[in-house]
Amino acid sequence: MILKASQSMLSLTEELLEFSGNASERKDVPKENIDANELARQAVGLLYFKAAEKKQNINLTVADAPAIIYCYREKILRLFNNLITNAIKFSADNTVVHVTLKLGPGHVLITVKDKGIGIPPALQGRIFDSFTSAKRYGTAGERSFGLGLSICKQIVDAHNGRIWVESKEGGGSTFFIELPVGERSA
């Protein structure tokens, strides 16, 4: 677990260094067909202890069948990590973060839902901007740097997907990610 967390931090550092242009694409690592269910399980496993610090639980519901996407493995792990970490950060103690994967026609739909502080309507249009001024402190005083959701958007864009949020101030947020289904291996 320490090795995987260290690799995740190295990947984030690389993304920050690459941030000047397109932080979501690496020329030296090819895309591959990967089951998004497995990536979600891995991300939840890494973040279980972070949630436990706030007496939170992460409820993962994977798709009924393999959710194959053609992707950069580390980038999609970063996507899950950023969204789940935000849900933990902005939710109160003793709450549940829901991560769900569903297969749709030609796409995989990923949702990350919390019952946290929510995003005021005035900030929702800026949350995916780089170094956004829409950053706020988490429920336990955790800092926000205004990069996580911008990186998520770049990753989703590099995979020809879409990302959006539905949120109510004081009523939580749900982030939606739609990624095209990859080529299935024989």
**Domains of the chain: total:** 1
Run of H or E including 79: helix 73-89
**Confidence band, pLDDT 50/70/90 cuts, at residue 136:** confident
Most confident of 99-103, 113-117, 151-155: 99-103
pLDDT for res 23? 45
Distance of CA 179 to the CA centre of its chain: 12
CATH (domain of 152): 3.30.565.10
Question: Per the domain annotation, does 185 fall within a domain?
Answer: no
Nearest to 171 by CA among 121, 131, 125: 121
Considering the entire predicted model, what is its pTM?
0.84
Question: Per the domain annotation, does 186 fall within a domain?
Answer: no
Nearest-angstrom CA–CA distance, 185 and 132: 40
What is the tens place of the pLDDT at every residue in 147-184? 788 889 999 999 999 999 999 999 999 999 999 998 74
Run of H or E including 100: strand 96-104
Nearest-angstrom CA–CA distance, 180 and 140: 36
**Confidence band, pLDDT 50/70/90 cuts, at residue 129:** confident
**Confidence band, pLDDT 50/70/90 cuts, at residue 18:** low
Write the CA distances from 58 to 37, 48, 65, 67, 172, integer angstroms: 15, 7, 21, 20, 15
**Confidence band, pLDDT 50/70/90 cuts, at residue 7:** low
Mean pLDDT taken over the chain: 85
Question: Per the domain annotation, does 161 fall within a domain?
Answer: yes
Question: Per the domain annotation, does 125 fall within a domain?
Answer: yes
What is the tens place of the pLDDT at every residue in 25-77? 455 678 999 999 999 999 999 999 999 999 999 999 999 999 999 999 989 99
Q: Which domain holds residue 37?
A: 2-180
